[in-house]
Amino acid sequence: MSKEYPYVTRLDIKYQHQEVIDIPAIVRGCTDKWFNQSLTRVNGSVVRVGIVEGEYHWHKHDEDDEFFFVLDGRLFVDLEDRTFELEPNQGVTVSKGVTHRTRAPKKTVMLMVENAGIQPTGDQTSLD
């Protein structure tokens, strides 16, 4: 049975190829504390925008790497043995199989690049 989480995650592709992607419009329209929207598909991957505040649960992706890139705000990417603090225009890739969580002390806008078939909440949760 799948656990329910208080996140809004939209896996539909919002923009097709040759369409302008308007991140500021998405941010202006967002009222959720933790919101993800798939923006476009690039080969076998998707680019997602995350508008987040608070913390995500600990999880991992057994078969998928995950890239986080901050546009605005500050994002902490916690691993079991260290934490990355990302400011605007900084990013980090978390390797498949690595348990992690993300946290944002204030409203943060980020891009994520990941396999189109990834389960955003993870394949297994731990440390909850």
Compare 74 and 123 and report the one with higher pLDDT: 74
Using one digit for the tens of pLDDT, what is the confidence trace for 1-42? 356 778 999 999 999 999 999 999 999 999 999 999 999 999
The angle at the Cα of 57, spanning 53 to 60, to the nearest 5 degrees, equals 125
- Domains defined along the chain, listed by start: 8-112 (2.60.120.10)
Res 124: pLDDT = 58
Using one digit for the tens of pLDDT, what is the confidence trace for 61-95? 999 999 999 999 999 999 999 999 999 999 999 99
pLDDT bracket for residue 56 (50, 70, 90): very high
CB 125: neighbour CB atoms within 10 A? 15
pLDDT of 125 over the 70 cut = no
pLDDT bracket for residue 123 (50, 70, 90): confident
Mapping DSSP onto H, E and C, the string for 22-36 reads CHHHHHHHCCCCEEE
First to last CA, the chain: 17
Q: Are strands 59-60 and 45-55 parallel, antiparallel or unpaired?
A: unpaired
CB 85: neighbour CB atoms within 10 A? 12
